[in-house]
A and B are shown apart, each in its own frame.
Chain A
């Protein structure tokens, strides 16, 4: 039998279960990672709008501005806005 198997094996190049496992995992893991890092759709527009308002009053470069929406676990979401004031905007 082993002799027969040896010659037959080469022909039946079928999809292995390991490759099925890999394919399924790649899809589900990518999907789950996406939903982990999900930012709401409105965030880019919100960022642009806030920047526009800020620039009416102070000088803000893209580098001195950051916006972040964070899930702190459970129901707690925090919208964090960080604006670095340059010397020109100094209050002193």
Chain B
């Protein structure tokens, strides 16, 4: 049985697609069979972050409407053969998805794949609800910033009441906090909420902390998920996240600013 993981947040622009791409690719590099699904109907972007935008022929909605088979729509990743991407449509209306037809697609994918990673659209509208409905686990992507934390809490409420697991009274969705764009220096200066603060407010287990990093923009420029940049802090932090998802215990890194010596503190720089 495949693990269905939704990457969600409520607020837009916090790093859902970046995280979906990095985690999906990371799991596949570890030998897992992974399919990444873009649920952002009308505003697809996962293809661009994955670097396969020119290979999109059919999409999720084509499959739903019976205009293409799953195999026709799935794009095999060129880097890792155990990874596929199901792109969102760019034009169709978002009412195309409903519980029945999405359920069928997920069930079909579940026969082949170990992990189904659902990249949710922002907001709490139908698209976001569809992305989380069938989830077994949720990666709640949050920036250390007031509006993002508040929206994450709204999404936690949705996970607990609007998902299939909630409706059927099954074991609740396993929630994970992924803190992105973290800047230890600003936390030390009292300008940014700390990991502890956010964990305290949302009270869900911490899956990972991704430091603010220039590598993320470079990765999306190139269409190479940042986890492939094994030299970068962000890439390493995503690798830790993948290892934790696979059940390993990994210490948290990049939580503290590099200590300055007394001389550089006194004379600047």
Using CB atoms and an 8 Å cutoff, list the residues of chain A in contact with chain B: 1-3, 6, 16-19, 21-22, 24-26, 28-29, 32-33, 36, 71, 73
Partner of A18, one of B161, B192, B266: B192
Cross-interface CB contact of B154 among A19, A25, A32, cutoff 8 Å: A32
Complex contact A22–B193 (CB within 8 A): yes
Q: Are B265 and A6 touching (Cβ within 8 A)?
A: yes
| A-B interface contact total, Cβ < 8 Å | 56
Separation of A71 and B190 alpha carbons in the complex (Å): 40
Residues of chain B contacted by A16 (CB below 8 angstroms): 189-191
User: What residues on B are CB-neighbors of A32 within 8 Å?
Assistant: 150, 153-154, 157
**Given A3-B266, A24-B146, A28-B150, 5 further pairs, Cβ under 8 A:** A6-B265, A18-B191, A25-B149, A26-B200, A33-B157
Among A1, A25, A73, contact of B162 (Cβ-Cβ < 8 Å): A73
Tell me whether A17 and B191 are in contact in the complex, defined as CB-CB below 8 angstroms, given that A25-B149, A73-B162 are known contacts: yes
Least CB distance, B234 to chain A, in whole angstroms: 22
Q: Are A21 and B268 in contact (CB under 8 A)?
A: no
Partner of B268, one of A2, A25, A36, A71: A2
A18 contacts B157, C-beta separation under 8 Å: no
With A2-B266, A32-B153 as contacts: A25 and B194 at CB distance below 8 Å: no
Q: Which residues of A contact B193 (CB under 8 A)?
A: 18, 21-22, 25
